């Protein structure tokens, strides 16, 4: 079996149960079930980690779940974790593509902090090593973390992402990248649809400015009206 490109869609469901309020983060992985080291596996086994292994190797889903557990203090309680899922899609399949797997978080983030408006996000960026003569924008990707908890605002200055929060998020993504490098069957990568190429991730960063993802703004459900007392213009 040739190497496959897997898209993971982390679908964070809102407690409103309104489908339009869903927040999605995307990650890409190259998967090679057949390698010299260890037994041949299926793509599903590489994702879930549910298989016999000669070495200590994790599945994609466990490590991706761990990433969100590491930042659980910054996830809004308005996210309904029990109904949130990660969809794994093989981009090597012909379109329209259906998910290979649709899995709940395992382990699941434990969230308890009240939330900011759902469209407020923190941008976590990552990129491949720079190469002369190559457009770096095609070797870079990012995810917009959110909906966010009040825990992202922990002290002055209040208008930006606090340094402690940035450090926790950066450490979580760095550990995820380091874990990826130790796996025989899968690698977290940057994918450029324009070039149809993947690149191993070299570094990343978290900026101190909050981002606004307007498409995540919740649909209105209640309206409060007012009327001029005199009823005249």
Convert the pLDDT of each residue in 53-96 to its tens digit: 555 567 999 999 999 999 999 999 999 999 999 999 999 999 99
Residue 232: per-residue pLDDT: 62
183-187 long-range contacts (CB < 8 A, ≥24 apart) are 183/57, 183/58, 184/35, 184/37, 184/38, 184/55, 184/57, 185/31, 185/32, 185/33, 185/35, 185/38, 185/41, 185/46, 185/57, 186/6, 186/29, 186/30, 186/31, 186/32, 186/46, 186/60, 187/29, 187/30
Residue 158: per-residue pLDDT: 80
Instruction: Compute the distance between CA of residue 11 and CA of residue 88 in angstroms, rounded to an integer.
Output: 11
Instruction: Compute the distance between CA of residue 175 and CA of residue 173 in angstroms, rounded to an integer.
Output: 5
Residue 4: phi, psi to the nearest 5?
Answer: -115, 150
Q: What is the pLDDT of residues 2-59, one digit of tens each?
A: 799 999 999 999 988 888 889 999 999 999 887 655 667 889 999 998 866 555 567 9
Residue 231: per-residue pLDDT: 63
Residue 36: per-residue pLDDT: 56
Residue 9: per-residue pLDDT: 98
């Amino acid at each position: 079996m040739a190497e496959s490109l897997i898209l993971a869609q982390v679908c964070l469901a809102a407690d409103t149960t309104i489908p339009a309020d869903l927040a999605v983060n995307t990650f890409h992985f190259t998967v090679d079930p057949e390698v010299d080291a260890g037994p041949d596996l299926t793509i599903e086994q590489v994702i879930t980690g549910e298989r016999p292994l000669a070495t200590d190797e994790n599945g994609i889903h466990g490590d991706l779940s761990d990433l969100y557990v590491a930042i659980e203090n910054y996830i809004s309680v308005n996210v309904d974790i029990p109904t949130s899922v990660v969809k794994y899609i093989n981009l090597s399949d012909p379109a329209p593509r259906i998910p290979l797997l649709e899995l709940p978080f395992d382990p699941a983030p434990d969230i308890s902090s009240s939330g900011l408006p759902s469209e407020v996000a923190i941008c976590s960026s990552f990129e491949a090593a720079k190469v002369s003569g190559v457009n770096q924008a095609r070797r870079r990707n990012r995810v917009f973390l959110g909906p966010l908890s009040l825990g992202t605002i922990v002290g002055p200055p209040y208008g930006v992402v606090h340094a402690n929060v940035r450090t926790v998020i950066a450490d979580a993504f760095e550990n995820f990248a380091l874990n990826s490098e130790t796996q025989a069957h899968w690698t977290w990568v940057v994918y450029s649809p324009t070039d149809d190429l993947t690149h191993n991730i070299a570094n990343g960063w978290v900026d101190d400015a909050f981002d606004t993802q307007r498409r995540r703004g919740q649909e209105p459900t209640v309206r409060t009206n007012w009327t001029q007392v005199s009823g005249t213009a």
